[in-house]
Structure 1
Amino acid sequence: MKKKGLGFYLRIYFKILAQDIKSKMSYRADFIISTIGMIFTNIAGFVSFWIMFRSFPSINGWGYYEMLFLYGFSLVAITPVQCLFDNNWSLRIAVYTGDFIKYCFRPINIFFYYQSEVFDIKGLGQLAFGIGTLIYSWNKIGLGFTPLILLKMIVFLITASLVMIAMQNAAAATCFWIMNSFYVLDLVTRFKDYAKYPVTIFSPVFRFIFTFLMPIAFIAYYPSLVILRPDEVPLLSWLSPLIGVVFFWLSYKFWMRGALKYNGTGS
């Protein structure tokens, strides 16, 4: 069988995306309410920083606008997992009901086929809010701007996204082996809330956990230091693109291992 290339998958993806968006637009009230809810959730996070810094001028050397930068960075970084991989939340249901078997018979990559079926369009509101927060804090801090800085920003945001995607992929794929996999996925997702904080404000134990065991520090803290504090960039920051790619590849292999061994209800 002829191997299918990137062009083939892009054409298929945009066709599936168009159908999914049309389907969602038929329930406009649900879309509008969900989007408003997403926006207010992000506003609440913005306000929480404002309230916190009314009492404390800085937290362990981190000022208000630096914290906002991290917050905006994390929102942008987690947007791809929100928009493109939201179907992971339904994976356990498809596996337990046997509906997942349909993905095993199509002559295309199972992971691509399953993930491409859902695009969470309301995540674009989160993206806009995150970019706005980044621009606002960037101006307040007085960071410079050059084409090189923009390139670094794009590269480190993309690779930071891969870390969150990898964590969700791996957590969702546990449903191929364990019954109560929802709690694994829910736990991993809840941990992402800590990504908006600098890892240095936590105790040494949690710094280790958030760096090497549950690597949420690579969603915002380490990659953002390349832009935010260019004169004191640790080695882990420069390694974050490699770490993001490796983690995503490992999570993909783990997901596919479960999918390829799947044989119907009860597997």
Structure 2
Amino acid sequence: MSRLGYTFGLFKEYIANYAKVKLTYRADFWVEVVSDLLFSLTNLLFIFIVFQHTPTLGDWSESEVVFVYGYFMIAQGVFGAFTNLWNFGDRYIIKGEMDRVLTRPAHSLAQVMLENVDPPSLVSSLVGLAIMGTAWGKLGLAFDWYDPFVLVVMVLGSVLIYTGIYVTLAAISFYSDAPTGIIPLMYNIQSYGRYPVQIYNRGIRFLLTWVLPFAFVGVYPAMFFLEAHRSVFMAWMTPVVGLIAAGIGLAVWNRGVKRYRGAGS
């Protein structure tokens, strides 16, 4: 069996085990779903409040900003479901669980990601899809046969960007087990990706495009569908940047694993 097939088999086993646990503690599952929805809807409400005080944001209308936010929610939900690395340093390095992971044949990163799957986050993706669809209708955008396929490619690219950045940050724990506070800081920075990057000054636009490319998890891929702001080149850069970010993340992770000497060292 190929490594990919073996990993996919593990994925099915982990999801089945997750389902068994959540069926036992159903209240926890629904509390998590509701809390995620309330957080997302609060951010959406903030957009509506902003547009109560201004007719446009730059040259972006309310429906266009909501459209971008809907796309952002889709990508963020998929990422949150399968790349939950927030407590990696504490659980796997400081508490030594990485030793257990490295004794198994599957790739260490795949194991860590599978052990921390969070399917309720996909509910946010469904809500984001509904928000995007509603804004699509209000804007009167054309719907071409290839749009669903383009959306899938763009979302995958955005998820790869998220994954690459956060895998890189998690891998820093291999070099230092001291809490760095970088991941919470990065989580706050990524929030800027839910709004059109064009409303920021040139320095922030450069940062969010080419240094910490969170603009590619929101506005740039969404611009493929927005006729008034369409930028085909920047939209299709999303999967390219995603592959680069994921490649960097994997390289930093593999190098960190080689450096790792165990919890007792």
The TM-score, its normalising length taken from structure 2, stands at: 0.94
Which residue of the other structure, out of 160, 163, 181, is the alignment partner of 1:162? 160
What residue identity is the alignment partner of 2:262? G
The answer on whether the counterparts of 1:159 and 1:245 sit within 8 Å (CA) in structure 2 is yes
Q: Which residue of 1 aligns with 2:211?
A: 213
Q: Which residue of 2 aligns with 1:19?
A: 17
Q: Distance in 2 between matches of 1:232 and 1:19?
A: 43
Of stretches 118-127 and 135-144 in structure 1, the one that deviates more from structure 2 is: 118-127
Q: Which deviations, in whole Å up to 9, do the C-alpha atoms of 1:34-87 show, x marking residues without a partner?
A: 21111111111111111111111111000000000110101101122200011x
Q: Distance in 2 between matches of 1:21 and 1:90?
A: 22
Q: Which residue of 1 aligns with 2:72?
A: 74
Q: Distance in 2 between matches of 1:132 and 1:223?
A: 17
Q: Which residue of 2 aligns with 1:31?
A: 29
Give SS of 2:263's match: coil
Map 1:172-183; keep pairs closer than 5 Å: 172-183=170-181
- Let me know the Cα RMSD of the aligned residues: 1.7
The answer to whether 1:203 aligns with 2:201 is: yes
The answer on whether the counterparts of 2:93 and 2:177 sit within 8 Å (CA) in structure 1 is no
Q: Distance in 2 between matches of 1:231 and 1:50?
A: 20
Aligned-pair CA distance for 1:121: 2.2
Which residue of the other structure, out of 254, 259, 262, is the alignment partner of 2:260? 262
What residue identity is the alignment partner of 1:55? H
CA 180–63 in structure 1, closer or farther in 2 if over 3 Å, else same: farther
Q: Which residue of 1 aligns with 2:56?
A: 58
Q: Distance in 2 between matches of 1:136 and 1:201?
A: 23
What residue identity is the alignment partner of 1:183? G
Give SS of 1:59's match: coil
Q: Which residue of 2 aligns with 1:245?
A: 243
Q: Distance in 2 between matches of 1:178 and 1:201?
A: 37
CA 182–23 in structure 1, closer or farther in 2 if over 3 Å, else same: farther
Aligned-pair CA distance for 1:8: 2.3
Identical aligned pairs, as a percentage? 23
The answer on whether the counterparts of 1:104 and 1:110 sit within 8 Å (CA) in structure 2 is yes
Of stretches 22-31 and 165-174 in structure 1, the one that deviates more from structure 2 is: 22-31
Structure 2: which 5+ runs fail to align? none
Of stretches 68-77 and 240-249 in structure 1, the one that deviates more from structure 2 is: 240-249
Count residues with an aligned counterpart.
Answer: 264
Map 1:116-131; keep pairs closer than 5 Å: 116-131=114-129
Give SS of 1:147's match: coil
What residue identity is the alignment partner of 2:104? R
The answer on whether the counterparts of 1:92 and 1:182 sit within 8 Å (CA) in structure 2 is no
> Deviating runs (4+, > 2 A) in structure 1?
3-8, 178-182, 229-232, 234-238
What residue identity is the alignment partner of 1:122? P
What residue identity is the alignment partner of 1:190? N
Aligned-pair CA distance for 1:230: 7.3
Aligned-pair CA distance for 1:231: 6.8
Q: Distance in 1 between matches of 2:227 and 2:180?
A: 38
The answer on whether the counterparts of 2:32 and 2:120 sit within 8 Å (CA) in structure 1 is yes
Aligned-pair CA distance for 1:24: 2.7
Q: Distance in 2 between matches of 1:101 and 1:230?
A: 53
The answer to whether 1:91 aligns with 2:88 is: yes
The answer on whether the counterparts of 1:95 and 1:175 sit within 8 Å (CA) in structure 2 is yes
Q: Distance in 1 between matches of 2:135 and 2:264?
A: 50
Give SS of 1:226's match: coil
Which residue of the other structure, out of 4, 7, 10, is the alignment partner of 1:9? 7
The answer on whether the counterparts of 2:141 and 2:227 sit within 8 Å (CA) in structure 1 is no
Q: Which deviations, in whole Å up to 9, do the C-alpha atoms of 1:213-266 show, x marking residues without a partner?
A: 111111111111111137741633222211111111111111122123212126
